[in-house]
Amino acid sequence: MADPMGHAGHDPLLVAEAADRGARLAPVLDLCARCVGLYVDLVAVTASLPTSAVPLRPRSFTLTPDDVRRLRPPGWRAWWSAVGSARDNLTRPLAVGLTTLGLAGLLLTAAPTLLLGMGSTAGSAAPSEVAHRAASSEPAGRAPALMGDTTNREATIGADTGPSPTVTLSVGLLVVGGGLFVARRLAVHGRPMR
């Protein structure tokens, strides 16, 4: 049966659709040699696409300014991402310095106190014991005044045994320095590998 419209009247999309599904052409198109040729060509091109057309993928990993803006974390995360990174040249020396100062301060203040304390406990009695002895040897009329003296003396002793400002400062420096070390470690540990 001849097609009265000829090839110009045939829809090439129908041929493409049939070629895509691997289906037979419609009877009208099957009789048209040019449609059959188109069908064969489309099947051949489609079959060769997966093996022949290898998509070109960019091999350049250079970041554009837009990429930098997009990838840079906002706010405090920008500061946190800098901690412990290669460009961070502040926190490590700061942590080392603060920890060293703290340790040195503790050693300088606590070591003489410890040494003197150990020496004095061996050679003398405790201050409260001395006060108790004095109270028992004094007459009864002076007892309230003496008790007041004892209270004042104990208060003074209590004030002497509390941490001195130097020790407090040293402990503070030590804690801050150690905290910086821990923060660096946490920042590096929680960072994804790049």
Binding residues vs other proteins (CB under 8 A): 12-13, 16-17, 19-20, 38, 40-42, 44-56
144: three-class secondary structure by DSSP: helix
Q: Among residues 38 and 146, whose Cβ is nearest to other proteins?
A: 38
Q: Among residues 30 and 41, whose Cβ is nearest to other proteins?
A: 41
Task: Burial-class residue 98 by CB neighbours within 10 Å (0-12, 13-18, 19+).
Answer: buried
φ and ψ of 163, to 5 deg: -65, 135
- Name the minimum Å distance from CB 56 to other proteins: 8
Q: Among residues 48 and 128, whose Cβ is nearest to other proteins?
A: 48
Q: Among residues 48 and 120, whose Cβ is nearest to other proteins?
A: 48
- CA–CA separation, 132 vs 6, rounded Å? 130
Task: Burial-class residue 90 by CB neighbours within 10 Å (0-12, 13-18, 19+).
Answer: exposed
For the chain, the residue count is 194
Cβ neighbours for 127, distance < 8 A, ≥ 6 positions apart: 153, 154, 157
- Name the minimum Å distance from CB 19 to other proteins: 7
- Name the minimum Å distance from CB 46 to other proteins: 6
Q: Among residues 44 and 157, whose Cβ is nearest to other proteins?
A: 44
- Name the minimum Å distance from CB 11 to other proteins: 10
Tokens of 50: 């997966």
- Name the minimum Å distance from CB 27 to other proteins: 20
Evaluate whether 63 touches 71 at the Cβ level (below 8 Å): yes
